[in-house]
Structure 1
């Protein structure tokens, strides 16, 4: 019966930790009203779908309806070195959390020794000695310090997992950007090759006219300069495309000469559905936001652990020893040792004050980092939406300019052959058409990239809802025990909170930060 009382007392004392645990209040984030207005005013060219929950079949990048892009992203996610490094960091964080969880159980150690001693000078008989010991050491988590340490490492593991997802989004972003950039360069190179052929034919025609005395030498020199200039521009574009190909091969963790399948041009008429996400889905799904909040909670738990490290510590020790000078009698007379110890670290006043101050500053730093991440998320979503709508408006104007430029080139070419305009006027018309065609290709690239940035700013897939059990459940057995049993007075130390001081029956005063609520609401 006595043992039962002792065990019950230990469990009740372990449950006292929740009374010194700082409560955390999840931030409340709201969506600016102008986002909803922009989506409603997006026009007929955009197809908008409202997603309030549930899962969307397939990966979110499949929404671009480009099988080559989807295949490429999947390959990169399987082979990328940065993502592999992030995965290793995640495994390390989970291992660290698992190691911290071992503080809930006693520490055991087992050892043994054997020796044979004999005098070298004297012919005495050798003396043998055999010993073994099994020791147990258990720190009772009176105030929840060990629970806070476990909680801190668990939240850090969650944050590292979100870092992994954030790295994946960065890799996807770079992959799609290079893929579209290569397609854009392919189209620009084709346009420039066609323009160069026109320039070479014009040069031949100008040369014949110059030899016949129909045009001046200035026109002939201008035609030669145009051909050389477009060759140089073509070489620049090819070099840029090679660099993008090499960068894409590096993402795939393969040699640079192993290129992937490419688009010859971007589809100017391609339209992409956008997701009208709920306010929470816009930000809460972002891995960097989840990582920042997890690190805030980790810092809060670490702050509690730092304060509680100056509370009295109770440890229980036990040992089982056996030994003899004869091997056959090694375990014939075992002994046991049972004891306990208490430490009072709160007498280190300066250390207490500075440690508490440092831990509070770390919590404030994590709160500022979370606030910064949230504001960055708002800005990125807003910028991506602005870029997408701007690309639509510019496209309409470029299409009108393209039609006018085609008519202008046709008319200018006829007038030049009739001798009504000079060669420079014809070159200007050709260059104008080339510039508009390249601008349309660039506009489509900007549209696709802005759409990608919008999805990435919303965390990749705003329709994906991942339930993380650590957001809602109590993290430790101590918290459950304290809720069920309440504060136990079975120990010799009697507690009562008075403001920011903890009075102990032995008349020792320990400075304590009163458990508080922390709110990091930013709106």
Structure 2
């Protein structure tokens, strides 16, 4: 073989080292625009919750960021993935071990062919270093490192997803508490008014101007209103407990003085451009990272078809005389190489490769679904923001109309034009309108939270 042929052969061998296919992202073209665009093309910031103007919400978010149980668990999973990456990376480096020992032995006289009657004792001391290295000729170990690295990236994206989930959970639960607080206040006000009207009916019954049926009807109305109070109070106490867990505290340790629903601002959330959404959704980035890991796993599985080449070297000293231990006479060394090739494995390697390919196909579909779901989430959230705003506007008009009718009925009652039954009916209508308005305002706030979450909460890959 000529000297020029040696580099050419080396280049040929190196070109054959890669047995895996390069990763190609599945085709997932974004829509040209949002069907229900709102708020302009400005993406939200990472502190998106501050747009609601709630200092109490700021405090809750800070507590969740430092003490939420799911975030702590996700952080621990990141550490596990980083450690696994270090383990996988060790396969690319040689291993080195040291061994030192001393052996004291007595030879058997019965097994000896000599005529000596004295037992022979020997002491052997040794100190050696052993180095071994597997040549990653086919890229098996490098592919395992690539897979572990992608898994580590996926764990970080999962952490960001957990952060966004915890933040949206805190905001949604806190807003629900405020909504329930408002509804409970309305029920209590309505109960107070109904009790006053019942007292009027009872006085009129004693005076003979009202019947027992009038009293019974008002008692039924009052009982119905009181019955609606308990479920609302139960739900609010359960939301308090849920908020305590979200902020990493026991319900018994959690204290909260909520604000009023009316002090919160409803932000105009910008949706950005569809082409930038995928880089702002950590769940989509996690799905792609898992797909990259699966692609690397295929390469590692394919490499098992080819020979495994290892180098081993050992050097040290061994002597029967401790004083001569570190001399040239006691020096020992060895160098060895080996190649191992599977001849027949009953289809194990082929099955492993096929399993990795099928896993890649599964994760490809998972990624495509994550992408489609991301665009769908934003569209649904935009619809919710738009329609909840329309609902609030309609409910405000209904509440204003009902309030005006109630005030007119009260004035006419004072003038003797209508009876108390008319006032009662208008009061019931007003209460219903006020309760519907409180629920609509809560829905509008939660729709804004949903849109922030659908947009990735201001997070950006590589940011």
Per the TM superposition, whether the score is higher than 0.5 is yes
Partner Cα separation in structure 2 for residue 82 and residue 312 of structure 1: 45
Aligned residue for 1:179? 174
1:128 matched to 2:106? The reply is no
Q: Deviations over 1:336-393 (max 9, x none)?
A: 1101111112543622322221111011011011111112112211111111000111
- Please give the residue correspondences for 1:366-385 in structure 2 after superposition, counting only pairs within 5 Å: 366-385=363-382
Change (3 A) 1:374 1:84: same
Could you tell me how far apart the structure 2 residues matched to 1:329 and 1:202 are? 113
SS in 2 for 1:257: helix
- 2:93 corresponds to 1:105: yes
CA contact (8 A) 1:140 1:314 kept: yes
1:62 equivalent in structure 2 = 50
Matched, 1:224 2:222: no
Counterpart of 1:472 in structure 2 is none
**SS of structure 1 residue aligned to 2:216:** helix
Going from structure 1 to structure 2, the CA distance change for 1:459 and 1:346 (only over 3 Å counts) comes to: farther
User: 1:25 matched to which residue of 2?
Assistant: 24
Which residue does 1:492 correspond to in 2? none
Higher Rg of the two aligned structures: 2
TM-score with structure 1 setting the length: 0.79
Q: Residue 114 of structure 2 aligns with which residue?
A: none
Question: 1:49-70: per-residue Cα shift (whole Å, max 9, x none)?
Answer: 4337xx95x6232222322212
Q: Are 2:445 and 1:454 equivalent residues in the alignment?
A: no
Change beyond 3 A, Cα 1:133–1:441: same
Partner of 2:68: 80
Query: Alignment partner of 1:271: what SS?
Result: coil
Question: 8 Å contact 1:312–1:346 — kept in the other structure?
Answer: no
SS of match in other structure, 1:23? coil
CA distance in 2, matches of 1:408, 1:27: 61
Q: CA deviation at 1:456?
A: 1.0
Deviation at residue 102 of structure 1 after TM alignment: 1.3
SS at match of 2:261: coil
CA distance in 1, matches of 2:423, 2:268: 41
1:33 to partner: Cα distance:
4.4
Counterpart contact for 1:182–1:245, Cα < 8 Å? yes
Equivalent residue, structure 2, for 1:482: none
Conservation of the 8 A alpha-carbon contact between 1:93 and 1:156: yes
- Partners in 1 of 2:97 and 2:220 — Cα distance? 85
Answer yes or no: is 1:315 the counterpart of 2:324: no
Note the 1:387-406 alignment, pairs <5 A: 387-406=384-403
Shift of residue 141, structure 1, vs aligned partner: 1.2
Counterpart for residue 277 of structure 2: 282
- The correspondence for 1:38, drawn from 25, 28, 36, is 36
Larger CA deviation: 241-250 vs 425-434: 425-434
User: What value does the CA root-mean-square deviation take over the aligned residues?
Assistant: 2.8
SS in 2 for 1:173: helix
Name the CA distance, whole Å, in 2 between partners of 1:266 and 1:411: 28
Deviation at 1:255, TM superposition (A): 3.0
Distance 1:18 1:395, change over 3 A: farther
Deviation at 1:119, TM superposition (A): 8.2
Aligned to 1:51: 42
Contact 2:287 2:363 in 1 (8 A): yes
| Structure 1 CA distance for aligned equivalents of residues 10 and 73 of structure 2 | 41
**Rounded Cα–Cα distance in structure 1 between residues aligned with 2:172 and 2:97:** 56
Alignment check: 8 A CA contact 1:16 1:142 kept: no
Deviation per CA, 1:33-53: give whole Å up to 9, x if none.
461x522xx5xxxxx34337x
Aligned to 1:338: 335
TM-superposition CA deviations, 1:106-156 (whole Å, max 9, x none): 111222222334589998464322223211111111111111110000000
In 2: Cα distance, 1:10 partner to 1:446 partner: 70
| Contact kept? 2:81, 2:155, Cα under 8 Å | yes
Match of 2:156 among 161, 177, 198: 161
Cα distance in 2 for residues equivalent to 1:283 and 1:376: 11
